[in-house]
Amino acid sequence: MKQRLLCLVTAAAAAFQLSACSVLDKEYVSIHDYLPSEQEQNLTGGRLTVHSAGALKSALLSMAYEGRTEGSIAFDSSYEGDAAEDLENACWAVRTEDALCAYCVENISYDFNKIVTINEADIKISYSKVSVSPKQIVYLGFSSEAEAAILSAMQKGMQTLTLLVGRSGFSAEDMAAQVTKAYRDNPTVVPKKPEAIVNVFSGAGTQRLYEIQIDYGMSNVQLIRCRRQLEEFKPFAELDRPDASEVERAYVACRYLVENCRILADGESEEAGSAYSALIKREADSEGLAFGYMELCRQLGVDCRIVYGQHDWKEHCWNIVRIDDSYYHVDITQCAKGGPALGFMQNDETFWGMYRWDVAAYPKCTGTNTFFDFFPPSMIDSVPTAADSTEKQEKQEK
């Protein structure tokens, strides 16, 4: 029992060190050089000689990570333990305790022979068919790096992403949530919220391999076309930003959506909850408006994020912006229905009651200025708009 426990602990260490190695023409791309956990192996006459159960498991893992289908292992005459029993256990452990091998190794078989005083084993490894090419597998040290890798995949329009994470506590649902988070933090990376299906392969300890299938809800041709439309959408290209304060730029973005986007009720359309719907199709629900506002604020250099909460006890989205180092709420839906004085530049105190949200998940909005503090009635019409920018560009062209 002690010997088996030692084997399992050694396998875990070997698996973690091996998690960045390459399979030559099989499944994986080289990330780091492999160093066995136990330096008890040597290569003589084409055979790998091992001295312990830990070294045996490291040898099998090396073969699998290198993509080898055949190999020979010799057990030193002073081998510690029962070679035949350790080999059986090692083959099972490699297939089940290493996430990468659980993903790609279909079977490990062997012929065990005793030649004079030396035990030998001829190893054969068969690999399962997987859906990605070798260069598409990404190694990560920690699950906290997953969102950046997912965002990169979405930017490339990849439909399958395979992540090997050295240390992760994420379930399949947690990793699928990372896909949603990557989209919500970058609402113009794809035209609408993608759906994700995640398969998890576990290794020893906290090693995990995630096979993520991303469904964009459209063909590649449509995806490229819609993404190009978003990239080319720059309504404030000619706006003289240095002359406009942060609050003026935030209001310009708000005013643009109020004047150019038709407001839909939440849940009225499945396609209405995206930045693409708000900016390109010019109709959106509260989520789409909030995403559209995020993008316009980004173009104007205003810090902005989306809020998921409730308004009048119904699911609703709006934004929080940072103006002069203070945070304020902005609800484009309310601005369109009741005017900017009711939905633009509000603090927590004025919003709480009709609005509900997870106060721990968002910055505290403690700004004390109101809309009319920023924009007295006599100034409102003087704030530049996207239309002013277009008119300026036309005059320059003439």
What distance in Å separates the CA atoms of residue 192 and residue 80, rounded to the nearest whole number? 59
Strands 314-323 and 195-202: unpaired
Q: Model confidence over 80-98: pLDDT tens digits?
A: 889 999 999 999 999 888 8
Q: Please give the average per-residue pLDDT across 259-282, as a whole number.
A: 93
Q: What pLDDT does 346 receive?
A: 94
pLDDT at 39 over 90: no
Residue 124's identity, in one-letter code, is K
Residue 2 — pLDDT band, cuts 50, 70, 90?
very low
Q: Please give the average per-residue pLDDT across 182-192, as a whole number.
A: 95
Residue 46 — pLDDT band, cuts 50, 70, 90?
low
Residue 13 — pLDDT band, cuts 50, 70, 90?
very low
In order of their start, the domains of the chain are: 2-127 (no CATH), 134-223 (3.30.110), 235-397 (3.10.620)
What does the H/E/C string look like for the chain? CHHHHHHHHHHHHHHHHHCCCCCCCCCCCCCCCCCCCCCCEEEECCEEEECCHHHHHHHHHHHHHHCCCEEEEEECCCCCCCHHHHHHHHHHHHHHHCHHHHHHEEEEEEEEEEECCEEEEEEEEEECCCCCCHHHEEEEEEHHHHHHHHHHHHHCCCCEEEEEEEECCCCHHHHHHHHHHHHHHCCCCCCCCCEEEEEEEECCCCCEEEEEEEECCCCHHHHHHHHHHHHHCCCCCCCCHHHCCHHHHHHHHHHHHHHHCEECCCCCCCCCCCHHHHHHHCEECHHHHHHHHHHHHHHHCCCEEEEEEEECCEEEEEEEEEECCEEEEECHHHHHHHCHHHHEEECHHHHECCEEECHHHCCCCCCCCCHHHHCCCCCHHHCCCHHHHHHHHHHHHC
Q: What pLDDT does 135 receive?
A: 60
Best-predicted range by mean pLDDT (92-96, 268-272, 320-324)? 320-324
Q: Model confidence over 255-269: pLDDT tens digits?
A: 999 999 999 998 888
Q: What pLDDT does 398 receive?
A: 42
What distance in Å separates the CA atoms of residue 20 and residue 22, rounded to the nearest whole number? 7
Q: What pLDDT does 238 receive?
A: 73
Residue 16 — pLDDT band, cuts 50, 70, 90?
very low
Q: Write down the mean pLDDT value for the chain.
A: 83
Q: Which percentage of the chain shows pLDDT scores above 90?
A: 62
Q: Please give the average per-residue pLDDT across 282-307, as a whole number.
A: 96
Q: Model confidence over 190-231: pLDDT tens digits?
A: 999 999 999 999 887 899 999 999 999 999 999 999 999 999
